[in-house]
Structure 1
Amino acid sequence: MQYDVNNFDFICVSGYGRSGSSACVDLLKEFEYIDGPDKEFRIAKDPYGLLDLELSIVDNWEFIRHNMAINDFLEYCSMLSRKDGTLKRAGKNFSKILSVDFTKESTEYIKRITDFMYFGDTMLNRYYLNALQSFIQRLRSKFGLSNTALMYFACPSEDNFLIETRRYLRKLFENYAKNKKIYKIVLDQAISPTNISKTLRYFGNTKLIIV
């Protein structure tokens, strides 16, 4: 059988905490042409993930809110991408696990749903600064220097957001599916059991198992 890299879809297994979803995932991975990461893949439902992104740039759009939501999402994706370690910041190492540049794909995804970028300034940007950075900004302001930062303007329709989100998730897993020669990718805790209708849409043609 010749493997088609585009011919894969997802099986999502979720539960309400300590429900045994990982055992269900392990059982499914015993079948031919089914495999999945050994870590939970929570990008749809975690804080700063896809659901929060949609709520901010589609459902509850506001001029400043959506830019902050995009920055939070990209920072979250940076955590998913990088390696973990004793002397390192927390990370999930999905770039290595999925054989993909996770940060690059996430940035490209944001570009596709962004109308344009511009230099702007808002007090909200300063909430993220440490004491030294805050002092430098105050000093720059005192001398009349600009504190502008690159900001996003994104106001996608719901349809466009879903199209690009599904494309993004498939691009994240293309190399993984190809390397494993599988047709079903099983994901643990990818869907929120309390918000199924929203998060399930992101994965396209998907089967869901609640444990």
Structure 2
Amino acid sequence: MKVISCASYYGTGSSAVTDYVSEFDGVFSMTNEEFRFVQDPDGIDDLEFHLVENHNRHNAGHALKRYKRLVDFYNGNIFGRKYAPFFHDRWKEISYRYIDELTDFTFKGWWMYDLYDRGGLFYFRKRIVNKVLHKTIWRDKPDRVLNTMKDEITYCSAPSEQRFVDLTKRYIEALLTEASNGADTVMVDQIVPPSNLPRYTRYFDNIKVVVVDRDPRDLYLLEKMEWKDGVIPHDDVETFVKWYRYTRSHRKRETFDPKTTLFVRFEDLLYRYDEETARMREFLGLDEADHKRPFTGLVPERSKKNTRKWLEYPEAADDVAYIERELGEYLYDYAAAGVEA
């Protein structure tokens, strides 16, 4: 199975890649839903850290419980189904099997974080019984602890790096095979991040990642004037500039592997469509003859309306000028694309 994924920095237009690739015959697209279970906190990357790289008797088992909880969250519930429909209601089944395969053995037992994870009220309610006992009938037994979680299960796991990677590869392929009914090529959104990619690509036998970025002026104005969802700082332009540099800082010290990763500008997909999509097809190994539904997903003329937003918001001219001074290296070169900025 070939896996194609896009990675971004929030709001940078990576869905354009998903939309374009979905126009090809022979590609199963999992839509623009983000499948972040590999990279998210408590996800697979965290599992490897606690099970393999920083193993100890408590953290390893706790990490498996945290991943199981993440699996349950991503499954969804009656208020909103998340991953379950994409995997024909087998997301939990396949994920629980992966957890079982990683687990060496279990036993009935608990530790402080089994209380902590359930919240402060739960923790203090459970522990107050011990306080009362030590003030009364256990006054002469200061080390005795009442077992208030007799049914709690502790997981024990210490796989080698190779075993962890092999089981993870098999797990992800099982999920994507179930979702796609065994397609040869699967397009899945955001399964890996744009940073530290060599760590994440180990979990796949064959993956191609397209990292997408866009002009910071548009990103700032879209968030400040239109999206207003609070993910990107926009109350003051100075903080936005710090955030933009911060989220891209990995590119100062990391080099993308050209075998697995392609960097594209969102604007190039719109203003240099023929050139840039040809470059992307070559990298992804897609045949132009299979491009049967052009412009049904990625429609450059429609998406261009989300560029050069400073022309719509002249009142933000001072902020735009500040971004141009501070983030000049990240600005899109409209002149090179034959467009007046």
- Taking structure 2 as the reference length, the TM-score comes to 0.54
Contact 2:116 2:123 in 1 (8 A): no
Greater RCO (CA < 8 Å, at least 6 residues apart):
1
Contact 2:107 2:154 in 1 (8 A): yes
The one-letter code matched in structure 2 to 1:123 is M
- Corresponding position of 1:139: 129
- Corresponding position of 1:27: 20
Which of the residues 68, 74, 77 maps onto 2:68? 74
Give the whole-Å Cα distance in 2 for the aligned partners of 1:137 and 1:78.
27
Aligned residues: 197
Contact 2:169 2:203 in 1 (8 A): yes
- 1:29/1:185 CA distance change after superposition, 3 Å: same
- Corresponding position of 2:223: none
Larger Rg: 2
- Structure 2, unmatched stretches of 5+, are 138-145, 213-341
- Structure 1, unmatched stretches of 5+, are 1-7, 86-90
Contact 1:140 1:147 in 2 (8 A): no
Contact 2:47 2:63 in 1 (8 A): yes
TM-aligned CA deviation for residue 34 of structure 1: 0.8
TM-aligned CA deviation for residue 129 of structure 1: 2.8
Is 1:102 aligned to residue 91 of structure 2? yes
Is 1:115 aligned to residue 104 of structure 2? yes
- Corresponding position of 1:200: 201
Which of the residues 155, 161, 175 maps onto 1:172? 175
Give the whole-Å Cα distance in 2 for the aligned partners of 1:117 and 1:102.
23
The one-letter code matched in structure 2 to 1:209 is V
CA deviations over 1:22-59 (Å, ceiling 9, x no partner): 11111000000112222011111111111011111011
Give the whole-Å Cα distance in 2 for the aligned partners of 1:82 and 1:164.
24
Give the whole-Å Cα distance in 1 for the aligned partners of 2:170 and 2:154.
24
Give the whole-Å Cα distance in 2 for the aligned partners of 1:46 and 1:129.
20
- Taking structure 1 as the reference length, the TM-score comes to 0.84
- Corresponding position of 1:153: 156
The one-letter code matched in structure 1 to 2:153 is L
Which of the residues 37, 44, 52 maps onto 1:50? 44
